[in-house]
Each structure stands twice: as structure tokens, then as C-alpha cells.
A and B are shown apart, each in its own frame.
Chain A
Amino acid sequence: MLNYFANPRRFMKLTGYLLPWMAGLTILMIGVGGYLALFNSPPDYQQGETVRIMYVHVPSAWMAMFCYTTLAISAAVGLIWKHPVADLAARATAPVGACFTFLALLTGALWGKPMWGTWWVWDARLTSVLILFFLYLGYMALNSAFDDPGRGAKASAILAIVGFVNVPIIKSSVDWWNTLHQPASIIRMDGPTIHGDMLWPLLLMIGGFSTYFGWVLMLRMRAELIAGRARARRQLQAER
């Protein structure tokens, strides 16, 4: 299965089919979800209208962790089975994940000001997400720090795997420590504690963010593959 998709030519063909679908799904889900979130969901009885920040904040925070998991898994696959496409996937994921993490931090700050009366608190959840952001930056810096791209891919893969310990910490930080940040309300043992009118737009936004990630990831990987071909052609020219 993995081997099947590791072939760059097959990958180009497959993603060529998938790209328009991903783009369409993204526009549809974010469009509908955004409309529902902004105009068709009730304001919170405590938080009022500011609760609508949630529809961007929660999906980006989700994606921040999802992207890092993707990054760590593709890094591990690239390191262990030496699949070039896995290395590409890892390298293409990092900037997207960093942007989601930044978005989560930014919307969190915007939300925190009216709710907690401060832009930022040094609690466990916020700090661990900030560390996640630094890990993304470190990954990207290390990846591009070597003259031999293969070496950069391997060194940064190890960093990505080691840094993965942070993900479960982020996930459980609201349960392990008493923090200002509210605990999980969607994925719980006893079912979501959030009202259906709010849950649906949120789920749509999460879905839309995920397909957006898939879309951009494919675009970036295709671009890298094409750039690789261009490099190879240059090299052939030089050797001729």
C-alpha cells in the first residue's frame, strides 16, 4: 500500500484526480460552516457573540496537532523505510502546521482578551502550544540547514519524532493542570457537552480545515516533485 503510493509518477496522477475534489470540499464546508457559525448559531449564554471565535480557534488548534502528528508519522516513515514521498510529505506539512498553530495562538489571544481580560496567560495549554509552534520552526530551520537535502530530511525527522512527546502533553494539559483554558468539550467519554446548533458548524469547519490541509499538502508536494525534476534535468545538463 505504502509502496504503491511511494512511486512519484503514480502520486502525481492520483493527486491530479483528487485536487479538484479537495478544493471543492474545502470551499463547500468552510462556506457552509462559516455561514452557520456567523449567522445561524446561537450566542453563548455566558460569552455572548465572542464565542464565534471558537469556530476558527478550535479547528486551527485541532489542525495544529493533526499536522504535527502527520509530520511525525511521515518523518518516521521516511526515516525507517526511506520513502522519498514521505520525506516530501513531512517537509510540505511543516509550514502549513506552523500557520495553523499561529492561527490558533492568535485567535486564542483575541478570544482571551474579552473572556479572561488578558491577551495571554502562561498556563499549561497555551505554553505547550507555543512550544509546538517553536518545534515547527525548529523543524523547518533544521530541514533547510544542510547543503545535502537528504541529510536535512533525516536530521529534522529525528527532531520531529522526539518533539512528538509534546502532542499528548498539549492534549492532556487541560486535564492534568488547573488552567484558565476550558477542558475538552467535543471528544469526551460521555458525549459532547456542546449544543447541536454550535456543534454542526464547528464540525463543518473542522472538516473544511482538514480538506484544506489535504489540498495544500498535495499542491506543495506536487510543486516539490516538479522542482526535483527540474533540478535533475539541470544536473544532467551539467554532466553532459
Chain B
Amino acid sequence: MNRFEAEALDCRRGGRQVFKGLSFALSSGDALILTGPNGSGKSSLLRILAGLLPAAGGGLRWNDRPLAEDPDAHRGRLCYLGHLDAVKPALSVAENLAFWAGAGSGGANAGANAGSREAIGRALETVALTHLIDLPARFLSAGQKRRVNLARLALGPTDLWLLDEPATALDVETTGRLVETIDSHRLAGGMVVLSTHADLGLGTARNLDLGDYQAGTAAGAAGTAAA
């Protein structure tokens, strides 16, 4: 049973206070859905949780140990999925995924054979792209590239998924598969934090509206995560 807590996070970008006093706690199997208007800091929060962006104030704890003590271990236990697809057009789909299995986010726990053809094939099954495994990625459409990037989630077991608008450019069917993947990840004891504008239909997920934590709003000072 893992526990991931954020306490009184502040975020400043370019001299502007983005959000303030944001706290939440997650344990194994939990999902947290970030909502809020544009510019309310959903992507910034995910980047703070990933360790890419230092918070202007507050702290993060994993199993009651501050993350700042061991950032390397944190990188090893998370899989981050940003706005950009990070798919190299000159490499085939399999080569792209094999590289991320060895050197990318989520690659630490992936194990020696995560880059093997079988493992990549299994990962591609979760996004229904098995038939394109050897196609150079330059022939993929935007949605297919997004799906290749999503396949990284299935490459190795990681405890914490941080997904920034994962459903963008996905069709209804693939969105359904994504929800299934997330559900099975949660059943296996993983955690998910994701930002979205559309309702994905995740069961028993908690909502965190970043609009409540803007500088100047009353809730920002005293608020905690709404259950």
C-alpha cells in the first residue's frame, strides 16, 4: 500500500501566481482528476508531481518520506505523459517504444526484456496498434502517434501515472480502451493523476478543481482536495 501526498503546493510561472495552497493525498488504487479553466495550472501541477518543475512552496511525500530526499527513486516509480508525443518519425513504432523502455519515463522498472518484441507487441495491443509495429512513425496520424505514446504506459509496471489530457485526439473506441487500461492499473494497486476537459467515465475517481486554488480566491488559502 503506497501513499502519495501533496501539501500546500504553490506554483509560480513567470512571476504570476498560478495556484496556491493545494493539498491532496492519494493511496494505492486512487485516481485524481484535475479540472479547471485554461491557465489554471493543470499541466504545471502534473509537471511538479513528476519533478520536472520545482514547486514555489509546499512539499510532496511518498510513503511519508519527502520526495526531495530521493528524486531518482521518484523518477523510477512514475510514468509521465505530456502534451507532446515524443515519437520520432524516422524510427519504426517498435523502435520508438523499445527506446522508451530503456531510457524514458517509466523505463527504470521496466526490466531487461521490456524492450523485447513480445513486450512491445503486448503494449501495442492495449492501444490496438499491433498491426503497425514495423511501420516508420512518420506515416502515423496524430491520433495514432498519441496511441503509440499511450502504449508506453503498458511497457513496465510503474506506481504512479501522470497523464496530461490523455484523451486528446483519441477516438471513442480508444478512449474506452484507455479507461480500461487505467482501471486495471488501479486494480493492480497503481495511482493515476490526470487532467481532462471531457468526462472520461472513470469509476470512483476524485475531482480536484484547480479553479478553487487560484490566487485571490478565498478557498485557495484554506482549501483541501474535495473528496
Contacts and interface: CB of A to CB of B under 8 A. Distances in A.
B14 interface: yes
Chain A interface: which size bin? under 10
Chain A binding surface, main DSSP class: helix
Nearest to B215: A239
Contacts of B131: none
Interface residues of B, number: 4
A100 B16 CA distance: 36
A182 interface: no
B15 interface: yes
Interface string A10-25: 0000000000000000
B161 to A, nearest CB: 28
A147 B15 CA distance: 11
A150 interface: yes
Contacts of A148: 13-14
B169 to A, nearest CB: 28
A46 interface: no
B113 to A, nearest CB: 39
Nearest to B12: A150
A237 interface: no
Q: Which of B13, B15, B16 has the most CB of A within 10 A?
A: B15
Interface string B1-35: 00000000000011110000000000000000000
Contact of B16 (A147, A149, A235): A235
Contacts of A231: 15
A18 to B, nearest CB: 28
A209 B13 CA distance: 39
Contacts of B14: 147-150
A221 B169 CA distance: 49
A147 B16 CA distance: 13
A82 to B, nearest CB: 9
A150 B56 CA distance: 13
A231 to B, nearest CB: 8
Nearest to A232: B15
A235 B13 CA distance: 13
Interface string B60-96: 0000000000000000000000000000000000000
Contacts of A150: 14-15
Interface in B195-223: none
A148 B14 CA distance: 5
Nearest to B216: A239
Contacts of A232: 15
A235 to B, nearest CB: 7
A232 B13 CA distance: 14
Interface string A117-150: 0000000000000000000000000000001111
Interface of B: 13-16
11 contacts: A147-B14, A148-B13, A148-B14, A149-B14, A149-B15, A150-B14, A150-B15, A231-B15, A232-B15, A235-B15, A235-B16
Closest 9 CB pairs of A and B: A148-B14, A235-B16, A150-B14, A235-B15, A150-B15, A231-B15, A232-B15, A149-B15, A147-B14
Given A148-B13, A232-B15, A235-B16, 5 more contacts: A147-B14, A149-B15, A150-B14, A150-B15, A231-B15
